[in-house]
Structure 1
Amino acid sequence: MDIGKAFRLLNQERIVFLLTVLLFVVFSLTLNNFLAAGNLLSLVRSVAVLGILGLGMLIVVLGRGIDLSLVATMAISVAWAMQLVSQGMPVYAAMTSGLLFALGIALITGILVAYAEIPPLFATLAMATFIYGFGRAHMITGTDVVYMPKDMGWIVELGQGHFLGLPMPIVVAAAMALVVFLFLKYTKLGAFIYAIGDNLPASRIGGISVRPMLALQYVISGGIAFVAGIITATSVEAMNTRVVNSNMIYDVILVVVLGGVGLSGGRGNVRNVIVGTLLIGVLMNGMTIMDVQYTIQNVIKSLILLLAIVVDSIVNPRDEQTGQQGDI
């Protein structure tokens, strides 16, 4: 194989995968205990929730959207559900209430984007603020941190259990990745999401119900966020609602864009999310072992996100007009 052909075969996903392998090898040779089985399991487990949220973001981004309310939906819906259990509501009823809240608030977001035609960036940013404020004022009282009740039943196993020796958060993340992969690849709805992201006017002309599909994307994303919240809460036996004000939503966007999912819509798959998540997991784990300050880690992640967005804007221009701006 000649060098030119090798370069043509490289894309963002393959480059990120190669960087992940390179970092893994370097850290294995230079850092003590990096290759220890416990550390590797901890590495994957630490990014399991990030990967699940990335799957929700993937579905929205494929349809030319973005969901900045994802973390707020995750935190408030699960915190409220656990508080309902603490107040005496049966676990199944409380979890169902939390899930319905997540789906309902996501549906409102989808309606704002699809029918009111508010740009997704502004709609989801406003909804994130509303969800957090409404949740703290009317649903969750007394504390920023809602601790998991003792009578949560088998649901606790989702965060603390094991299956075939693997921590359940990893198993759940893998199962969610498989479900999203099958949904996008083998269902009509998945094909419609790709079509809308690739060419919205043509999709409308082709008979796809564009507005309901745009709203559905956010509903699916909200459901995935609730699952991620259950894993988070049962793993640490609490839900800290202050995570809404953290950098977590930017980490979610980072793993999606870094893996090669096009912000212009219609380009990307589950594999891209997995690759991006693994790179960030390896990088964060290595920097933690090296005792790099948390603020420095955030700076590095921010620079990586900025670089990934610049690359995406070049590789996947928003439209033909955008792609020609460099010719002016």
Structure 2
Amino acid sequence: MRSFLHNLNQERIVFLLFLAIFVAFSVILPGFLNANNLVLLLQGISVLGILGVGLCVVVIGRGIDLSMVATMALSVAWALQLNIDGMNLYLALAIGLGGAVLVGLANGALIAYAEIPPLFATLASGACVYGFGRLALIHSDLVYVTPAVGDLTLLGQGRFLSIPMPVIVFAVIAVIVGLVLRYTKFGRFTYAVGDNYATARVSGVPVRHVILGQYVLTSTVAFVAGITQAMAVSSMNTRISDTLLIYEVILVVVLGGVGLSGGRGGVRNVIVGTLLIGTFLNGMTILDVQYTTQNAIKALILLIAIIADTLVNPRDEQTAQHGDI
């Protein structure tokens, strides 16, 4: 028993909570274990999980990206708008992806070179992306997918071996980012920067280039999440930038065990956090809990997760000086 308790960490505790909630909902809620509901559950958390995987990269590097949802919505909506206006679909998608990468480069440059704290840099850039996008690039808040996309809709609506394609996309992105963090020099440098910025710099790590790469990778993943979302519902609503989605993304990252102090956690933590929050929200929906009540509960869980993370992984003096979350 003592050995079991000694081996517990936040990831395992959250996974046990997920199992407990899953079993409880299976017993209490009629229809929860229905195959269609479980498929909807997995499909519903996929985009959240993809965004969480992207965000965990910058969080591991001791940063944050509050512009991620705005980047996702506006870059994909711009690509769809260009396609509606007559541009070739794949060229439009390439331009949309380029826009997302440009936002990542801007965020990285502001943080790495101008040394603006990530919280303020990405908060401001998210507002700029949404404002400029709606003013100059997109004609309306809701941009629909045209029939010209053809089989690309399978990315959001298709299935492979009875598994919804958004779940497959989530799995593929998780594997790719996990391999990058675990086996590449960029991944090792990301952990080094997050663990101790000053030590990483004096050890020869190209800190600024690494930070730049982190935000570009996060924006690229956001674009993939946006395409998946748009193909699933046949549209992209840019108003999603004004919702609490970014806080849900932060919630699954922090709750799963990726430390806000940097240098800890990985993709597996995000998957565990996503499963717990996705199951919880699905159960709340079946119980017909009001949306505002769900938001209040999610906010409380996020607050508890941040407090727990602060106690388990206290921030050092250097973090405070850099103004990171």
Superposition TM-score tier, normalisation by shorter sequence: over 0.9
Question: Matched residues in 1 for 2:254 and 2:9: separation?
Answer: 13
Whole-Å separation in 2 of the counterparts to 1:63 and 1:178: 19
Q: Which residue of the partner structure matches residue 186 of structure 1?
A: 183
> Take 1:107 and 1:55, find their aligned partners in 2: how far apart are those partners?
19
Moved more, 257-266 or 148-157: 148-157
| Alignment match, 2:35 | 37
The aligned counterpart of 2:150 is: 153
Match of 1:8 among 6, 10, 14: 6
Residue matched to 1:238: 235
Match of 1:309 among 282, 306, 309: 306
User: Any idea what the Cα deviations from partners look like across 1:257-306, whole Å, max 9, x if unmatched?
Assistant: 00000000000011100000000011000111111111100111000000
**2:112 pairs with one of 105, 111, 114:** 114
2:172 is aligned to: 175
Map of 1:157-236 to 2, 5 A cutoff? 157-236=154-233
Matches within 5 A, 1:264-303: 264-303=261-300
Compared with structure 1, are the counterparts of its residues 321 and 192 closer, same or farther at alpha carbon in structure 2 (3 Å cutoff)? closer
5+ long unaligned stretches in structure 1: 324-328
Encode CA deviations 1:225-254: one digit per residue, 9 max, x unaligned. Answer: 000000010000000000000000000000
Match status 1:77 vs 2:102:
no
State yes or no: 1:138 paired with 2:139: no
Q: Is the 8 A contact 2:177 2:267 kept in 1?
A: yes
User: Helix, strand or coil for the counterpart of 1:14?
Assistant: helix
Whole-Å separation in 1 of the counterparts to 2:99 and 2:68: 13
Other-structure match for 2:255? 258
Q: Counterparts of 1:13 and 1:139 in 2: how far apart (Å)?
A: 42
Asked if the contact 2:261–2:319 (Cα under 8 Å) also holds between the matched residues in 1, the reply is no
One-letter amino acid of the counterpart of residue 60, structure 1: V
1:25 aligned partner: 23
1:148 Cα offset (Å): 0.7
Deviation at 1:153, TM superposition (A): 2.4
Percent of residue pairs bearing the same amino acid type: 58
Structure 2 residue identity aligned to 1:107: L
TM-score by length of structure 1 reads: 0.96
Partner of 1:99: 97
CA distance in 2, matches of 1:108, 1:203: 23
Which residue matches 1:129? 127
C-alpha distance in structure 2 between counterparts of 1:113 and 1:146, whole Å:
32
**What's the offset of the Cα at 1:6?**
2.3
CA distance in 2, matches of 1:75, 1:170: 19
For residue 157 of structure 1, report the CA deviation from its aligned partner: 1.1
Distance 1:28 1:47 in 2: 18
Question: What TM-score do the two structures reach when normalised by structure 2?
Answer: 0.97
User: For residue 304 of structure 1, what is the amino acid of its counterpart?
Assistant: I
How many Å separate the matches in 1 of 2:286 and 2:84?
38
How far apart, CA to CA, are the structure 2 residues paired with 1:233 and 1:320? 43
How far has the Cα of 1:154 moved from its partner?
Answer: 2.4
- Paired position in structure 1 for 2:66: 68
* 158 and 125 in structure 1: CA distance in 2 versus 1, 3 angstrom threshold: same
Runs of at least 4 residues of structure 1 off by over 4 A? 320-323
The one-letter code sitting in structure 2 at the alignment partner of 1:89 is M
Give, in whole Å, the separation in 2 of the partners of 1:138 and 1:155.
26
Q: 1:183-218: CA deviations, max 9, x gaps?
A: 111111101101110111111111110011111100
Partner of 1:152, secondary structure, is helix
Higher deviation after alignment, 313-322 or 25-34: 313-322
Is the 2:157–2:164 Cα contact (8 Å) retained in structure 1?
yes
Shift of residue 5, structure 1, vs aligned partner: 2.6
Are 2:256 and 2:272, in contact at CA under 8 Å, matched by a contact in 1? yes
Q: In the alignment, is residue 318 of structure 1 matched against residue 315 of structure 2?
A: yes
Aligned residues: 320
Deviation of 1:310 after TM superposition, in Å, equals 0.1
Q: Is the 8 A contact 2:61 2:262 kept in 1?
A: yes
> Distance between the aligned counterparts of 2:316 and 2:273, measured in 1?
25
SS in 1 for 2:143: strand
